[in-house]
Structure 1
Amino acid sequence: MKIPGLSLELQRLLAPVPTWHARITLADWQVAALAVREAGGRLLALWGTTSAPGVAVCAAYVTADGVVWLELPLPGEQTSYPDLVPVFPAAARMQRTVADLTGLRAAGAADQRLWLNHGAWPADYFPLRHATEAGQDFPDAQLLDYAFVRVEGDGVHEIAVGPVHAGVIEPGHFRFSVVGEKVLRLEQRLGYTHKGIEQRMTQLPPLQAYRLAGRVSGDSTVAYAWAYGMALEAAAACDISSRASHLRALMLERERIANHLGDLGALGNDAAFAFGLSQFSRLREDWLRLSHVVFGHRLMMDCVVPGGVAGDIDGAHIDRLNRQCDVVEREVQTLRAVYDEHAGVQDRFMGTGSVSPALAAQLGLTGLAGRASAQAWDLRCDHPGPPYERLQVKMATQRSGDVAARVAVRFDEVFESLRLIREILADLPAGPVRQVLALPDHASRGAGWVEGWRGEIFVALELDGAAGQHRIRRCHCHDPSWQNWPVLEHAIIGNIVPDFPLINKSFNLSYSGHDL
């Protein structure tokens, strides 16, 4: 990859390799971002670090050849770095989060409002730079008024929804500017489920922190635990067994199907088709119950561990898993035909909440929602690791970018995941399911990158092994919802307010994985 104006060192960094890490200078920070964009790459994650030997801001980019992890150390007392929003709009909220947690700010950024700090701690307090005790109160903290963007004009009014919602749902505030029922603008306010995960990570032993990683977003526990395990295994220069990688993939595909079944039912319900909800809920419940029987937990939490998996499966388990795949495939095929032929459902789905391929590319829409808008990215196809490199995953894509397209991608992915599960079970290698990890007695780092059911889960891990005292110096867990939440604001424009629950569910983004 040769980009005019890019230093020879950065040219080398963008060479065909799976993962690179390097420290760069202020002068190259925006240059590298531009080079990635011009080469068709995208921003994967952006985070700050305040651990020794100094403060830095990091960015991970996806190129055709893999992940480029660039670290920008900030000299002396400097706390600012060049703004990446003009290159990658998805960086905006990530940069605001870096400012809240570390005090490092993007110079010249148009939006400098607080994001995660809702007034729970003082404006001059930065959780990743100052020690915090569990349950610590800040008497000087004050609730903050958030400056929502106002839309002016005849007949324009605002509808405030949340952060508390009906039913069992995480908190998020949505401010609609509307004329009649037509939405002119939506602005989100998230961060209500901020839990201090990144600071807590530094307080846990590296071999135990996978349990917290698997709880960043509970519906993606397998993907997060695998990404953390991958990062730790890379830092320890340890390869897991072929059997362990197959069992991880088996669980990951079961996690994907469980979430798709739940969403397909909920989407039917949001279109006033309760039959769909009842049928898909039944299938999902049966799916989760068998996961509990085979793996010991309905969501398979704590089943992916450093070095492999927590337990093995036997021939009886394989038979039950295969039989369930046959049942689910038959029933989902029938239900898809029902959805496709139901005029009322299709009237609600088609043309609703559209995101054009051009807008999706500009804003960095990723994962399932991205593939519904012609963004053909799927790690299982683009950068397949074991065992996906031999499974030949067929990517599900659509172009219309509406609710109907996101539903179609879910159906297609259910059938493909069922095929993958059968292949994994038919050719499950022999061997151990867990390797013992020997952590190095020196500083090391690793990255984990897994295609979860929503999209790419990324974990950047830095370890300090000085004097044999192994600890986590920094662990950043990134959910694809960071990229996709802002796109939801665009998807609702021009639609009516009552369609928002349907559009929102068609994305089904994570609050917890976003708020950290």
Structure 2
Amino acid sequence: MRPTNTWFAEKLGDHGIYTQYMEDHHPAHMPCLEIRLLDWQQAAEIALRLEMRLVAVWATEGGCHDQPDSMFAYMGLAHPEHRHVLLRTQLGRERREIASISRHYIAACRMERHMQDMLGITVSDIPDGRRWIKHEHWPEDALPLRSEFAATTRMAQAEGSYPYVSSNSEAVCQIAVGPVHAGIIEPGHFRFLTVGEMILNMEERLGYVHKGIEKAMCGKTAAAGIRLAARISGDASVGHSWAFAHACEYAAGIRPPRRASYLRGILCERERMANHIGDIGAICNDAAFSFMHAQMQRLREDMARMHKQLFGHRLLMDTLIPGGVSIDLDQRGCRLLSEQTRMLAAEVEHLRTIYADHPSIQQRVIGSGIVSVNEARDIGLLGYVGRASGNYADERIEEAYPPYNELEVHVPQGRHGDVATRVWARFEEIADSARMIIRLLEQLPEGAVSNAWQAPEAGTSGFSAVESWRGEIACWLRFGDHGLIDRFFVRDPSVINWLGLELAVRDVPVPDFPLNNKSFNCSYSGNDL
């Protein structure tokens, strides 16, 4: 059966690249095209010229329908008018090597480094071949995503060091921050090169909370897998659960009931509101505007308590299941949620005027941490971070999955790319999320909240892209025998947006780094899979 989206296959064919549709990949409107290994880099070049953005690059071993010792690389791409497409190529058996596409897509580099670390694939022409997830104390021959590597393996401690970018100039100072921080944030190391108080360069070293999610997902049922997906990044529980559920449902050919889709939308927009509200307060706190922090934390706590009351969990964990949702709302619940959402929107708008009328906070945020429109597009920044810098990708519009295919989504369109614009984008999204939640509650259809789950045939894979509060989450999985997940990959938006933070803080005073860091608020856990 030919997929509905054939646009990119035809464009590749115009350049002499032969493609073959994978019949065991779903959904049909997100085709997976098999291409030759020697066409890999050219395909990325063509995609860039067609103004397609990179979604993700990953690799995996073959499944039950492939040769047992085969290995494949995948490239996910998206276009605002022609939606998503995947490319797949088979790596050589004697030498696991593939050409880097980082010269075309900057964000590919760290994903390619992950492929090298986890699967032992050689990426030729890669601009930065240093280890990424695999830290220096890991043995060189440890390849956790290979099938022969047992998840229970206890690895010997190796010696080594990470070659940070350095400077020989006497005028340049080096400041090491982390990985353990004074607050409750997760561990991550930041290495600053400064001239006086101004940041010349900032380099991130992540991976300290690597949990082996991709490995741990293998062998799980869909029901067990979605519980793990909900914990990839705790503040994006709904977003990651939804991406996982969609991938499972696409693979199995199952659609959730319409009521379930509406409830998913309500949960996702509530998660968006809660995180934006909390982060605006935290940004203001980093600029010593403690009043705003206290007020926003109060509102976020009110939301968390309502979530606990209506859905059983403050962070909305385990509310989604493959085939639908595990919770429902009665008339009283709908009324309470609608009343609180209206109250929150009105109070946040009032606090917004107070924020805007205080010169002390405005002086700190306006013009700080700028990422230009061209830089944001080159990196492919996602979510509100991208929208503050002219990159307006939003899966709720591009993919238009239920219930957003029945809603008008208003995407903030900023261009200044500084802390102030990232805060502005958050305020705009809070208001729009509140509007959509109220409409979804008013039009909540009757009916079931889930459909029975039935695992697909072995070898079937599914791909999804969902707009979480941070931006697009991309998820791919493949089912093996007995309805168990055979392979899994997920890309949190932070994997891309961390690059933007490094760029944003150049020529920023060191005391303003926390302000900029919180304006991005990338997930450590979502990156350190």
Amino acid at match of 1:484: N
Q: Secondary structure of 1:410's partner?
A: helix
Look up the match of 2:4: none
CA distance in 2 between partners of 1:6 and 1:244 (Å): 43
Q: Is the 8 A contact 2:180 2:187 kept in 1?
A: yes
- Quick check: 2:478–2:485 contact (8 Å CA) kept in 1? yes
Q: CA deviation at 1:379?
A: 1.1
Aligned position for 1:240: 256
1:66 aligns to what? 83
Which of residues 3, 7, 12 in structure 1 aligns to 2:16? 7
Task: State whether residues 151 and 215 of structure 2, in contact with CA within 8 Å, keep that contact through their aligned partners in structure 1.
Answer: no
Question: Who is 2:60 aligned against?
Answer: 49
Per-residue deviation at 1:65? 1.1
The 2-side partners of 1:515 and 1:312 are apart by 33
Q: Say which SS state the counterpart of residue 207 (structure 1) adopts.
A: helix
Q: How does 1:452-471 map to 2 (within 5 A)?
A: 452-465=468-481, 469-471=482-484
Residue in structure 2 matched with residue 110 of structure 1 by the alignment? 127
Determine which of 111, 130, 135 is the counterpart of 1:94. 111
Q: Of 448, 451, 476, which residue of structure 1 is paired with 2:489? A: 476
Say if 2:165 is the partner of 1:149: yes
Kept in 2, the 8 Å contact 1:17–1:65? The answer is no
1:209 aligns to what SS in structure 2?
Answer: helix
2:510 is aligned with 1:497: yes
Task: Show CA shifts across 1:126-150 (max 9, x none).
Answer: 00115455553223x3142000011
Give, in whole Å, the separation in 2 of the partners of 1:379 and 1:91.
20
Residue 406 of structure 1 is matched in structure 2 by 422
1:449-488 per-position Cα deviation (integer Å, ceiling 9, x unaligned):
10000000111011113xxx22211110110111111111
Partner of 2:3: none
Aligned partners of 2:73 and 2:90 also within 8 Å? yes
Q: Distance in 2 between matches of 1:7 and 1:243?
A: 46
Change (3 A) 1:7 1:294: farther
SS in 1 for 2:45: helix
Structure 1 residue 301, shift from structure 2 partner:
0.2
Residue 122 of structure 1: aligned partner: 139
User: What amino acid is aligned across from residue 155 of structure 1 in structure 2?
Assistant: A
1:443, 1:12 → 2: CA distance? 15
- Given residue 122 of structure 2, which amino acid in structure 1 is its aligned partner? R
Aligned partner of residue 489 in structure 1, secondary structure: helix
What's 1:510 paired with?
A: 523
SS in 1 for 2:363: helix
Q: Once the 2 structures are TM-superposed, how far is the Cα of residue 49 of structure 1 from its aligned partner? A: 0.4
Q: How far is 1:58 from its partner?
A: 1.1
After superposition, what is the alpha-carbon deviation per residue over 1:159-178, rounded to whole angstroms, capped at 9, x for unaligned?
A: 00000000111001000001
Offset of 1:443 from its aligned partner? 1.8
Q: What CA distance in whole angstroms lies between the structure 1 residues aligned with 2:191 and 2:255?
A: 48
- Please, which moves more after superposition, 360-369 or 436-445? 436-445
Shift, 1:90, TM fit: 0.5
| Distance change (3 Å), C-alpha of 1:279 and 1:148 | same
Q: Unpaired segments of 5 or more residues in structure 2?
A: 1-6
**Mapped contact 2:143–2:149 kept (Cα < 8 A):** no
Q: CA deviation at 1:6?
A: 2.4
Q: State whether residues 21 and 33 of structure 2, in contact with CA within 8 Å, keep that contact through their aligned partners in structure 1.
A: no
SS in 2 for 1:392: coil
State the shift of 1:10 in Å: 4.5
Note the 1:75-86 alignment, pairs <5 A. Answer: 75-86=92-103
The answer on whether the counterparts of 2:235 and 2:315 sit within 8 Å (CA) in structure 1 is: yes
Deviation at 1:185, TM superposition (A): 0.6
Give the structure 2 partner of residue 332 of structure 1: 348
Q: Structure 1-normalised TM-score?
A: 0.96
Question: Which amino acid is the alignment partner of residue 74 of structure 1?
Answer: L
Contact 2:238 2:316 in 1 (8 A): yes
Q: What residue in structure 2 maps to residue 184 of structure 1? A: 200
8 Å CA contact retained: 1:380, 1:451: yes
Q: Is this contact kept in 2: 1:120–1:138, CA < 8 A?
A: no
Q: Distance in 2 between matches of 1:474 and 1:134?
A: 14
Q: Shift of residue 438 of structure 1?
A: 1.3
2:150 and 2:226 map into 1 onto residues whose CA distance is 22
Give 1:93's aligned amino acid: R
Which stretch has the larger CA shift, 263-272 or 359-368?
359-368
Post-superposition offset of 1:3: 4.2
The match for 1:383 is 399
Determine if the alignment matches structure 1 residue 35 to structure 2 residue 51.
Answer: no
**Could you give the per-residue CA deviations for residues 250-295 of structure 1, whole angstroms, max 9, x where no partner exists?**
0000000010011011011011100011000000000111011111
Matches of 1:205 and 1:390 in 2, distance apart?
Answer: 31
- The DSSP-based 3-state class of the residue aligned with 1:19 is coil
Q: Is the 8 A contact 2:58 2:73 kept in 1?
A: yes
Alignment-mate amino acid for residue 49 of structure 1: T
Deviation at 1:441, TM superposition (A): 3.2
**Aligned position for 1:434:** 450
User: Structure 1 vs Structure 2: percent identity of aligned residues?
Assistant: 41
**1:344 aligns to 2:360 (yes or no):** yes
The whole-number CA distance in structure 1 between the counterparts of 2:284 and 2:210 is: 31
1:120 is displaced (CA, Å) by 4.5
Measure the CA separation in 2 of the matches of 1:430 and 1:86.
Answer: 51
CA contact (8 A) 2:222 2:322 kept: no
Listed one character per residue, the Cα deviations across residues 374-414 of structure 1 (whole Å, up to 9, x for unaligned) are 11111112221111011111111211000000000000000
Change (3 A) 1:352 1:335: same
Identify which range, 38-47 or 409-418, moves more after superposition: 38-47
Moved more, 178-187 or 104-113: 104-113
C-alpha separation in 2, matches of 1:21 and 1:126: 26
Indicate the larger mover: 20-29 or 79-88.
Answer: 20-29
Matched, 1:369 2:385: yes
Q: Which consecutive unaligned segments of at least 5 residues does structure 1 have?
A: none
Opposite residue 478 of structure 1, the aligned amino acid is R
Secondary structure at 2:462's aligned position in 1?
Answer: strand
Q: CA deviation at 1:24?
A: 1.3
* Deviation at residue 448 of structure 1 after TM alignment: 1.8
What amino acid maps onto 1:188 in structure 2? E
Return the TM-score normalized by structure 2. Answer: 0.94
Contact map agreement 2:17 2:35 (CA 8 A) in 1: no
Matched position secondary structure for 1:62 = strand
Q: CA–CA distance in 1 between the matches of 2:31 and 2:165?
A: 39
Q: Quick one: distance in 1 between partners of 2:226 and 2:400? A: 22
Q: Confirm or deny that 1:174 pairs with 2:185.
A: no
| Distance in 1 between residues matched to 2:28 and 2:370, nearest whole Å | 36
CA distance in 2, matches of 1:185, 1:404: 22
Cα displacement (A) at 1:38 = 0.9
Q: Which amino acid aligns with 2:521?
A: N
Q: Distance in 2 between matches of 1:105 and 1:198?
A: 20
Matches within 5 A, 1:193-232: 193-232=209-248
